[in-house]
Every structure is written in structure tokens, then in C-alpha cells.
Structure 1
Amino acid sequence: MAMTDSRIENVIGALALAFADTLQRDAQARAPEPGPAASAITLIGHVPGLSIERLRRALSLSHSGTVRLVDRLVANGLATRFSAPDDHRAVAIKLTLLGETTCSAILSARQKGLASALAVLNQEELQAFGNLAAKLLRGLVSTEDHAYRICRLCNYTVCIDCPVEAELA
């Protein structure tokens, strides 16, 4: 590996952390609590009827930790539980109207923070960066569970031709 490759990898690593910090900070500021609540709300918003098991795997939590998180979301009026249509033994989750409003606020805050960080790029640079990011995302996806993890804070309504979904197809 050449010295310039090491520098590029280091700069990209720092950029990834800066983006992640901004995204987490802004999303969590609109969530009912710090930690995985923002990710849980956006995932449930994208997949109404998401199972606790799928949510657990996407958030990398224990089963009991996921159940406690869902308990808090339900107690705060953000989500409801119901029997999964395909397996009545499994518990599924969907957002309430308040949960949908919270989900929109989380995604809006996330979008503003990322837009602010990307504002230093002109339109051509932004397009090129977006294309490279999509290519990198396609190379990172390994399983459906991994895709849920990668996209746990994504705004699915604006991600037309999602590179993560395309890679799994």
C-alpha cells in the first residue's frame, strides 16, 4: 500500500466518522431518548409490521434490549404492537401518528445536517461524490440483515434506485 493510499483511507475514515457523528447527533436530537430509538423509529416507519427479531438484528441489540426499547416507544405513544400476519407467535411493530410525526422530524434533522456538511461541494462534485458513495455502498452490503443495519436511518422516500436494495436484488 502506497503512502498516498494510506492518507486517502485515513481521510475517508475521518470523513465517515464526522458524517456518522453529525447524523447520529441530529437524529437523536429529535428522538424521545438517546441511543437506538431514532434508528428504531425510522426502521419501523419504513417497514410497518417489522418484527422485533428483525429490529433486534438491524440495531445489533439483545432480544431483551429490543423489547425494552419497544416498550418505551409504546409507552411514549410512538408505536403499537400486534401479531405478525405471517406468524401469530411473532410480535410486529408499527408507528402511531405521533410516531410517524417523530419519524419525519428525525429524518428532516438528519437531512439538514448532511446537507450542511455537503454544502461545500458544487453540484458536479456532489453528483460525483453521490455516485462514488453508491458504488461503495453496493460493495459493502453482504446480507439482508446487513442492509437493514446500513439503512437504519435512511429516508427511504428520497432514495430512488437505492444502491443497497439493488445489490440484494
Structure 2
Amino acid sequence: MTDSKIENVIGALALAFADTLQRDAQAEAPEAGPAAAAVTLIGHVPGLSIERLRRALSLSHSGAVRLIDRLVAEGLAARFAAPDDHRAVALRLTPLGETTCNAILSARQSGLASALAVLDPQEVQEFGKLAAKVLRGLVGSEDQAYRICRLCNYIACLECPVEAELSLAMATPDTR
């Protein structure tokens, strides 16, 4: 295959994965749009600030506040004073929010497993290694890392390549 053909095939695969992920996550989310990603991010980072959530989801501040207002009204999330800055608002999931988060992640995992079912176990392992390498190359900032992992199952990703690359980048900012 030529490089342009490989790039095209990978682009189509990325879109197919994104469509599957979005469809399956949205099916369990309280509403269309960024709600599924908001719930999973808050679930992964209890105490997440509205500003960090806003940047990860590419929302305006008012858009993020409205989204959080809806999640709070639906009983999925709660606001509290940030422990390090009582003027700032931090977010956490309620028990209903945790149940919703688990349902979103389960649906997401199921859809992705289905898509990968055409590969044998060895191919899945190799594909995973290559995907992790590509992901590491996409991490340029903390905001970008949150954006990349906004619908991730953090429990399943014990040695997260995005987090590893971010840690490396933050430890050696001048040499990269």
C-alpha cells in the first residue's frame, strides 16, 4: 500500500471508530452532545474544575456551566468548593452519575470490542501497541491529553500511553 492509501485507510478507520464510540456512548448519556464525555471525565477526575472540563470538551465557559447545570439538575453531578481554592467550583459524580458513567463506558467498550472482533488475539495486541505509539505522538499538552481521553475507560487503561507521554513532556519541557 502507498503512504497516501495507508493514511486514507487509517483516516476512515478513525472515523468509523469515532462514530461507533459516539453512538454507543450517546445511547447511555443523559442527552446528546458532550454530556457523555463530561460524565466520564468527571468520573475519572473527581474534583475536576469547570475550566478544565470546558477546555477538554472545547466548550465556551457559559456552555460548560449550562452543561453542568443540566447534569446537576438530572442528579448526575454535584458542585463543591475546590479543596485548594474555595472560590473555585469542583465537580464530582453522584451515585446516579457513577451508574451512568459505568453504563457509558460499558457501551463504549462493547462497541469497540465488536469492531476489533475481526482480528485474532495476536493482531489485537499488535494493533494496541501501534495505537498506543500513535497516541503518544499526539499528546502536546495537558488540555490535549484530556481531550484525547475524554471518553476513555480509565480503569481499563492501567498504563495509559497518553498519561505516560504527558508525564514525560511535563518532566522535560525544554528538551522535547
Tell me the TM-score normalised to structure 2 length. Answer: 0.94
* 1:30 and 2:28 matched: yes
Distance 1:73 1:121 in 2: 38
Match of 2:87 in 1: 89
Distance 2:154 2:10 in 1: 25
Distance 2:10 2:80 in 1: 42
Give the deviation of 1:63 after TM superposition: 0.1
| RMSD over aligned Cα atoms | 0.7
The CA deviation string for residues 18-77 of structure 1, in whole angstroms up to 9 with x for no partner, is: 000000000010000010000000000000010000000000000000000000000000
The CA deviation string for residues 78-122 of structure 1, in whole angstroms up to 9 with x for no partner, is: 000011111111111100000000000000000000000000000
Find 1:48's aligned residue among 46, 49, 57. Answer: 46
* 1:128 and 2:132 matched: no
* 1:146 and 2:153 matched: no
Distance 1:141 1:16 in 2: 17
Equivalent residue letter for 1:54: R
Gaps of 5+ in 1: none
Give the deviation of 1:160 after TM superposition: 1.3
Match of 2:159 in 1: 161
Match of 1:17 in 2: 15
Secondary structure of 1:33's counterpart equals coil
Gaps of 5+ in 2: 168-176
Give the deviation of 1:161 after TM superposition: 0.8
Distance 1:80 1:124 in 2: 43
Equivalent residue letter for 1:89: R
Find 1:39's aligned residue among 29, 37, 40. Answer: 37
Distance 1:138 1:14 in 2: 20
Secondary structure of 2:136's counterpart equals helix
% identity of equivalent residues: 82
Equivalent residue letter for 2:161: P
Equivalent residue letter for 2:52: R
Secondary structure of 1:127's counterpart equals helix
Tell me the TM-score normalised to structure 1 length. Answer: 0.98
Secondary structure of 2:90's counterpart equals strand
Aligned residues: 167
Tell me which stretches of 4 or more aligned residues in structure 1 moved more than 6 Å.
none
Give the deviation of 1:168 after TM superposition: 1.2
Distance 2:91 2:159 in 1: 26
